[in-house]
Amino acid sequence: MRTQVGIIGAGPAGLLLAHLLHLRGIESVVLEVRSRAYIEERIRAGLLEQGTVDILDGAGAAARLHREGMIHEGLALRFDGESHRIPLTDLTGRRVTIYGQQEVVKDLVALRLGYGAPLVFEAADVAVHDIDSERPSITWTEDGAPRRLECDIIAGCDGFHGICRGNIPPDVLRIYERVYPFAWLGILAEAPNVHHELIYARHDRGFALATMRTPTLTRLYLQCRPDEDLGEWPDHRIWEELHARLARRDGPSEVHEGPIVQKGVTAMRSFVAEPMRQGRLFLAGDAAHIVPPTGAKGMNLAVADVWYLTQALEAFYAGRGTAGLDGYSDRCLRRIWKAQRFSWWMTSMLHRFDAGDAFEHKVQVAELDYLCGSEAGMRTLAENYVGLPLD
Ligand code: RFL
Ligand code: PHB
């Protein structure tokens, strides 16, 4: 089997890349280790920058997003029991949209299957070969049979635990990493939203975030230990902790309880692998970088990477040379490091690092207090949160 671009991974990065290439007349094959049902149900990101929405829109992949997405023009920072609104749109002219990552994945899968382009689920033992040559290939096992795909280019969109990054030789690959001493316990509950906008809460008991998926499906996160045992978190304990961390000084929290339909623990890490290219292999999305979710940047960065990769591949196939492909890694990394800085800063400002460190608590609250009282401070947060421009 032969194609132009072999894409490994059917997350937002791989699926969007395949679709953007299709629109430009470039063929691809997408190989995914999991089943269709698994990738369509996996609950993850929820917040899309306006630039991400614009790219999906331009690709004809945003019809349902426009019907069902929830547009937000601000967010709340809560500390010392008081909420402070950051008016994102007044400060930047831009908005963000709440729409589940798995909904984006469903929309892109439906589009691809609709025009009959190759998308292989449950591809086992995926491996890449000859990436330093002009004829790289991918092998895998499908229904027990060995398969081989020859291509011009391989896009490694296989997430943090994928196999692509490991093909960059150790003497070339540089890893920058920070692992945080906490994680997030996330739940999805059939309950009215806490507030019509997101609330990021700093509390002495730890961070909490109130977000949403639909008006009646609420997503809530609690800072917890990285090795947290979900067995120790019966529903009543989760609600008790949410009420406490989202409490208001002048009254109880606005948290509404309801049946919890999903629970999970997410580790927190900042990670960048450089360069994002080796020969004919190009990494995109979580395969190359991870951000802690506090800044809501992970999926948005994956979309920006594939946007740049699409432009480079379009020029390559139009006979305009390899300058775009050669500059791909540096172009992505400039944006990635700014998002890393922002995600690390939001994480540091809002989480409890050391329960006994009273000085740190005072400095965190002072920073939040400064930020919310300063137009310049709020604008800095807003500009990064809604997404820096795609250059
Ligand atoms: P994905 O989504 O991990 O997709 C990679 C795909 O590759 C497949 N795969 C393989 N396929 C073939 N062969 C192999 N050997 C393979 N190994 C793996 C996997 O099965 C999978 O289908 O990476 P991608 O496409 O780069 O997308 C990145 C995003 O998923 C991620 O950055 C976000 O979910 C991060 N994130 C958030 N990002 C945002 O932009 N806004 C948010 O609000 C936000 N909130 C979050 C988040 C991530 C979270 N978790 C659970 C990590 C909240 C949470 C809790
Ligand atoms: C989410 O809706 O899941 C979400 C929103 C904002 C974040 C992280 C997660 O910073």
Judge if 263 and 140 occupy the same domain.
Answer: no
State residue 76's pLDDT score.
98
Q: Are residues 262 and 275 located together in one domain of the fold?
A: no
Tell me the ligand closest to 186's alpha carbon: 1
User: Can you give the pLDDT at residue 224?
Assistant: 97
Residue 38: partners with Cβ closer than 8 Å, 6 or more residues away: none
Could you tell me if residue 381 is inside a domain? yes
How many independent structural domains does the chain possess? 2
Are 257 and 191 spatial neighbours (Cβ–Cβ below 8 Å)?
A: yes
160 phi, psi to nearest 5 deg: -65, -35
- Catalytic machinery residues: 72, 200, 293, 297, 385
Q: Is residue 29 part of a domain?
A: yes
Average pLDDT (289-303) is 97
Is 161 a member of any domain? yes
Q: Is the pLDDT of residue 355 over 80?
A: no
- The pTM of the full predicted model, rounded to 2 decimals, is 0.96
23 lies in some domain: yes
The ligand 1 atom nearest the CA atom of 9: 7
Predicted confidence (pLDDT) per residue in 219-249, tens digit: 999 999 999 999 999 999 999 999 999 999 9
**156 in the same domain as 32:** yes
pLDDT at 369 over 90: yes
pLDDT of 33 higher than 80: yes
- The CATH number of the domain where 296 resides is what? 3.50.50.60
pLDDT higher than 90, residue 328:
yes
278 and 253, same structural domain?
A: no
Candidate of 209, 213, 343 to mutate for ligand 2, largest count of ligand atoms within 8 Å of Cβ: 209
What confidence tier does 357 reach under pLDDT thresholds 50, 70, 90?
confident
Which pLDDT does position 203 carry in this prediction?
Answer: 94
Are residues 109 and 208 located together in one domain of the fold? no
Pair 210, 255 in one domain: yes
- Look-up: residue for tokens 């002009």? 134
Q: How many angstroms separate the CA atoms of 17 and 1, rounded?
A: 20
Q: Does any domain span residue 82?
A: no
Range of the domain at 309: 5-73+95-177+269-346
Ligand 1 atom, smallest distance to 46 CA: 43
- Per DSSP (E only), the strands in 151-276 are 153-156, 174-189, 198-201, 208-214, 217-224, 260-274
The CATH number covering residue 235 comes to 3.30.9.10
Question: In percent, how much of the chain has pLDDT > 90?
Answer: 96
C-alpha closest to that of 21 among 216, 129, 149, 153:
153
